[in-house]
Structure 1
């Protein structure tokens, strides 16, 4: 497979296999459901498996520059995903991407163009994209 347009290839594959949930109503509700499953897989990694822990605390925004703020912010994740949890989260993100591609297909949008535009926005705004 040509990786230079992997988003287009993925979007095309999704278009070829999507039959059951073709309606925009099905797609947006499945997208929301898949988002919940991604979140659930992350939470289960902490609460059921325990390979990670989530220790949330107040973020410190009192630094002098945006770079210092960026460098001081925490993910609140401690530990690393075990292979089982990593596999489950990747699976759920993959399903979520499937419905993102389906949404793009229904509106005749290019996932690749959307990603490239977002990359340009990030490049243009740089660290100010954090705001």
Structure 2
């Protein structure tokens, strides 16, 4: 089975989305789905404990060479997601993508074009793509 493209997925969402055709419904469901992703990640830390968070100041300075800044940069995370947490977060990311696709459909925005444009921007700006 070949991988679905974003265009295929967006079309599938268009065919399945019957109840939430209102832009306000989709925008609020998208926000709710995003919050659910954040909640699932938080639960991996606070309830399961498979990952830990230890956030500290990154300590960048203007005279720090770029390669050193890249080595110094940390994710603040330790550990790996267990299968249960990975599955929960993947499920929430899927819902998030569903509503992102629905939003793109309602606004006539192709997610493939969005990804291509952002990829071009990343390629052009490289490390200076600080968005």
**TM-score normalised by length of structure 1:** 0.93
* 1:86 positional shift: 0.3
* 1:52 positional shift: 0.5
* 1:7 alignment partner in structure 2: 6
* 2:17 alignment partner in structure 1: 18
The size of the alignment, in residue pairs, is 130
Q: Distance in 2 between matches of 1:111 and 1:10?
A: 10
Q: Is the 8 A contact 1:67 1:127 kept in 2?
A: no
Q: Distance in 2 between matches of 1:110 and 1:67?
A: 36
* 1:87 positional shift: 0.5
Equivalences for 1:1-131 in 2 at 5 Å? 2-3=2-3, 6-62=5-61, 64-130=64-130
Q: What's the C-alpha RMSD, in Å, of the aligned pairs?
A: 1.4
Show structure 2 runs of 5+ residues with no match: none
Q: Is the 8 A contact 1:41 1:88 kept in 2?
A: yes
* 1:72 positional shift: 1.3
4+ runs deviating over 4 angstroms = none
* 1:2 positional shift: 4.6
Show structure 1 runs of 5+ residues with no match: none
Query: Deviation string for 1:86-120 (max 9, x for gaps)?
Result: 00001001100001100100011100000000000
